[in-house]
């Protein structure tokens, strides 16, 4: 009974989102007298989806295996918290969550008070576009991936949730990442609505806050995913250039460009067309991400689900939404004022860096899609390896990072006179800090590493400098704080990535019980391996002692877990970490003769890779919750 209610609610949501679009876009009446109805419809369709998710969750909790999706993804032994997380553990449910979050953004937009008399048509039309996107994807769920489909005869016991997914970080990773993906639908809708209504820069100021919010979720989602991959996928990598990771990085790069471009459009009334285009591309890349993950067209560790029909449907949706948006763009876009640009003015530097960000996204896109295209052409099966990405990403990134530092000191409309004098000091400081780190703290590794470390400090120090340059007036600091934090976060991430990749040590080794081996300066000793028991798994636990200069600093316990006799074991790594370095041990197989294979790692400054995004997020939060309200109060 409950699943049927969920099913009916999906249909209610479908109908109301369609109405939301049709009335909102003005098919019924051109004027905006019916806007209240449209906003309420968006609330109706979102609540219907919410209750549908609750229905699914309830069916999970009572172990209703007559529902196919639940029989496939849950069983009675699963802890309750993971029964809830199992809602988005596979394709159908995760898509339901995706759409619900989309509709929630629509509701927030509907009841936003940031619109004035001039922009209320913009608001109505953008809510209509949100309705259209929702409609398309609810149709997709009902047509190809209904989570409420019944199974008859139904089994006594369900299949287990993939044990990889039974992890707190992964339980919250998809909702956060999805919130970011679908959040980009708001700037998209505002851009489209702007094209069909007032068609000027006014949408930019509104879209900016939404874009930053979506960007925050994307940043958090990507960082969480990378962290999860590091400790859970077993082998201590934190980025694999897997198609699914690329699918989240591309919208992030373009959304980052969009955030910066919107500033220029809002404040200088420039680059309106470019901002609109970026908004369209950012959301299209989110859709492409959904397609890549869900169609199973790629050989990827992430494709738990695959179905060609779904792939075709999503591809068609991307075609309609993106294609439609681009045609509209081509027909309607009005170029902003023509103005000659000063080469070192803030707007030129921002434009330049947005181009670099987009090039980075394009290079990743080529590497991700090329194997697909070759396969479609029947020209064989290939894949593009991580070395490609690691190498080509440097071309846009090195200049990008250099210009980020310059941009901080630039001013609108003109080449700043003070620029050179401030830059001198920052440049000198970054050079000293970078060279000391690259040559003295660590040993010289390569020119590229040294440049990378110097550029990391360059970003970091130039990000910090506006805070100190201003004469400690609270109002000035609060204005530059978001940018500062975001750039400091980026600098830390670059530092972490460069140092870890250049100075990290990774190898496999066979150790007898009682034997030890050296990883950098650290000595790892395999003490014993015992059987143990967890709440829903059996495990084999190794005890590894780590010492430095003869002094014991930690004991860690890497494990091999078996959740279910029929499925393979899971590797749970042992990690000892602080801000300076990570020490990592994963337990391999028993090799006979009391020896075991172990995967050992020493990774200096690894934590910075996740600390960086955290500080970037902090910057975004300050922008939304402090800077904006406070500057309004103070002016």
Partner 1 sequence: MLPRHQRFIGLIAIVIGVALASFFILNSFQKNLLYYLTPIQVELGEAPVNKEFRMGGLVLPDSFNREEGSLIAEFTLTDGEAAFKVFYSGILPDLFREGQGIIVKGRLDERGYFIASEVLAKHDENYMPPNIKPLEQMKEGL
Binding site for partner 1 (CB under 8 A): 162, 164, 234-235, 299, 301, 304, 363, 366-367, 370, 380-385, 387-388, 391-392, 395, 508-510, 512, 560, 567-571, 586, 588-589, 591-593, 595, 597-599
What the block records as the tokens of 331 is 């027909």
Cβ distance to partner 1 smaller for residue 53 or 586: 586
Give me Rg for the CA atoms of the chain. 26
Shortest distance in whole angstroms from residue 478 CB to partner 1: 38
Phi, psi angles (nearest 5°) of residue 550: 80, 0
Shortest distance in whole angstroms from residue 101 CB to partner 1: 25
Shortest distance in whole angstroms from residue 164 CB to partner 1: 6
Shortest distance in whole angstroms from residue 314 CB to partner 1: 21
Residue with tokens 């009446």: 29
Give CA separation, 472 vs 420, 424, 479, in Å: 22, 21, 12
For residues 130 and 109, what is the distance between their CA atoms, to the nearest angstrom? 9
For residues 282 and 192, what is the distance between their CA atoms, to the nearest angstrom? 13
Give CA separation, 583 vs 107, 128, 493, 520, 579, in Å: 46, 52, 19, 10, 11
Shortest distance in whole angstroms from residue 540 CB to partner 1: 12
Cβ distance to partner 1 smaller for residue 178 or 596: 596
Shortest distance in whole angstroms from residue 390 CB to partner 1: 9
Shortest distance in whole angstroms from residue 517 CB to partner 1: 12
For residues 490 and 496, what is the distance between their CA atoms, to the nearest angstrom? 10
Shortest CA distance to 74 belongs to which of 572, 536, 600?
536
Cβ distance to partner 1 smaller for residue 477 or 513: 513
Cβ distance to partner 1 smaller for residue 105 or 231: 231
Cβ distance to partner 1 smaller for residue 566 or 635: 566
The 8-class DSSP code of residue 67 comes to B
Cβ distance to partner 1 smaller for residue 200 or 564: 564
Cβ distance to partner 1 smaller for residue 217 or 241: 241
Cβ distance to partner 1 smaller for residue 397 or 458: 397
Cβ distance to partner 1 smaller for residue 381 or 632: 381
Query: How many of the other CB atoms lie within 10 Å of CB of 500?
Result: 21
Shortest distance in whole angstroms from residue 384 CB to partner 1: 6
Phi, psi angles (nearest 5°) of residue 79: -60, 145
For residues 41 and 134, what is the distance between their CA atoms, to the nearest angstrom? 12
Shortest distance in whole angstroms from residue 380 CB to partner 1: 6
Residue 182 CB partners (closer than 8 Å, separation 6+): 98, 99, 101, 102, 105, 214, 286
What the block records as the tokens of 11 is 């249909």
Cβ distance to partner 1 smaller for residue 391 or 444: 391
Cβ distance to partner 1 smaller for residue 319 or 514: 514
Contact call for residues 238 and 606 (beta carbons, < 8 A): yes
What the block records as the tokens of 30 is 């051109």
Residue 82 CB partners (closer than 8 Å, separation 6+): 161, 165, 166, 171
Q: Is 602 helix (H, G, I), strand (E, B) or coil?
A: strand
Shortest CA distance to 56 belongs to which of 130, 141, 183?
141
Per-residue burial over 481-495, b if 16 or more Cβ lie within 10 Å, else e, is bbbbbbbbbbbbbbb
Shortest distance in whole angstroms from residue 504 CB to partner 1: 17
Cβ distance to partner 1 smaller for residue 342 or 476: 342
What the block records as the tokens of 48 is 């219907």
Query: How many of the other CB atoms lie within 10 Å of CB of 502?
Result: 18
Consecutive H or E run containing 592? strand 581-592
Shortest distance in whole angstroms from residue 582 CB to partner 1: 18
The 8-class DSSP code of residue 583 comes to E
Shortest distance in whole angstroms from residue 237 CB to partner 1: 12
Shortest distance in whole angstroms from residue 589 CB to partner 1: 7
Residue 506 CA, chain-centre distance (Å), reads 27
Contact call for residues 595 and 588 (beta carbons, < 8 A): no
Shortest distance in whole angstroms from residue 335 CB to partner 1: 21
Residue with tokens 């870890």: 500
Cβ distance to partner 1 smaller for residue 318 or 587: 587
Give CA separation, 458 vs 314, 401, 446, 605, in Å: 42, 8, 18, 18
Cβ distance to partner 1 smaller for residue 418 or 594: 594
What the block records as the tokens of 12 is 């209610």
């Amino acid at each position: 009974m409950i699943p049927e209610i969920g099913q009916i609610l999906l249909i209610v949501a479908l109908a109301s989102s369609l109405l939301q679009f049709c009335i909102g876009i003005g098919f019924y009446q051109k004027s905006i007298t019916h806007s209240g109805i449209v906003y309420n419809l968006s609330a109706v369709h979102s609540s219907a989806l919410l209750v549908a998710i609750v229905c699914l969750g309830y069916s999970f909790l009572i172990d209703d295996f007559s529902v196919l999706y639940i029989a496939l993804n849950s069983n009675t032994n699963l802890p309750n918290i993971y029964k809830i997380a199992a809602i988005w553990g596979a394709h159908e449910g995760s898509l339901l969550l995706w759409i619900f979050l989309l509709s929630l953004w629509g509701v927030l937009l509907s009841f936003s008070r940031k619109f004035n008399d001039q922009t209320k048509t913009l608001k109505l039309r953008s809510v209509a576009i949100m309705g259209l996107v929702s409609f398309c994807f609810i149709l997709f769920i009902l047509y190809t991936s209904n989570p409420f489909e019944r199974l008859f005869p139904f089994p006594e016991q369900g299949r287990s949730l993939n044990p990889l997914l039974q992890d707190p970080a992964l339980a919250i990773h998809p909702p956060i990442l999805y919130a970011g993906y679908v959040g980009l639908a708001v700037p998209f809708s505002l851009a489209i609505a702007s094209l069909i209504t007032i068609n000027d820069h006014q949408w930019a100021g509104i879209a900016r806050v939404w874009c930053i919010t979506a960007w925050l979720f994307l940043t958090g989602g990507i960082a969480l995913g990378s962290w999860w991959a590091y400790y859970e996928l077993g082998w201590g990598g934190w980025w694999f250039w897997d198609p699914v990771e690329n699918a989240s990085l591309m919208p992030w790069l373009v959304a980052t460009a969009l955030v910066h471009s919107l500033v220029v459009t809002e404040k200088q009334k420039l680059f309106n067309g470019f901002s609109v285009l970026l908004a369209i591309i950012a959301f299209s890349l989110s859709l492409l991400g959904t397609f890549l993950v869900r169609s199973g067209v790629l050989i990827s560790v992430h494709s738990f689900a695959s179905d060609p029909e779904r792939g075709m449907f999503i591809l068609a949706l991307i075609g309609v939404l993106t294609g439609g948006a681009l045609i509209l763009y081509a027909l309607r876009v009005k170029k902003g004022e023509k103005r000659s640009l000063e080469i070192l003015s803030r707007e030129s530097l921002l434009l330049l860096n947005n181009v670099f960000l987009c090039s980075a996204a394009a290079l990743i896109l080529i590497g991700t899609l090329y194997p697909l295209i070759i396969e479609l052409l029947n020209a064989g099966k290939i894949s593009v390896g991580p070395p490609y990405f690691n190498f080509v990403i440097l071309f846009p990134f090195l200049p990008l990072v250099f210009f980020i530092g310059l941009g901080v000191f630039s001013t609108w409309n003109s080449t700043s006179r003070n620029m050179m004098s401030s830059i001198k000091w920052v440049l000198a400081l970054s050079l000293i800090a970078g060279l000391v780190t690259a040559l003295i703290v660590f040993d010289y590794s390569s020119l590229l590493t040294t440049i990378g470390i110097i550029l990391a400090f360059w970003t970091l120090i130039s990000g910090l400098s506006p805070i100190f340059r201003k004469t400690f007036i609270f109002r000035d600091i609060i204005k530059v704080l978001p940018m500062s934090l975001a750039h400091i976060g980026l600098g830390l991430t670059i530092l972490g990535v460069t140092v870890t990749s250049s100075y990290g040590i990774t190898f496999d080794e066979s150790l007898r019980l009682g034997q030890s081996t050296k990883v950098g300066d650290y000595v790892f000793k395999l003490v014993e391996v015992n059987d143990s028991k967890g709440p829903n798994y059996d495990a084999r636990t190794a005890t590894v002692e780590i010492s430095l200069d003869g002094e014991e600093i930690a004991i860690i316990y890497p494990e091999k877990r078996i959740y279910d006799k029929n499925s393979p074991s899971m590797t749970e790594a042992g990690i000892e970490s602080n801000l300076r370095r990570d020490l990592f041990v994963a337990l391999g197989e028993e090799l006979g003769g009391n020896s075991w294979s172990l995967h050992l790692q020493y990774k200096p400054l690894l934590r910075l890779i996740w600390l960086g995004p955290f500080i970037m997020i902090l910057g975004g939060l300050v922008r939304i919750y402090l800077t904006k309200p406070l500057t309004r109060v103070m002016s």
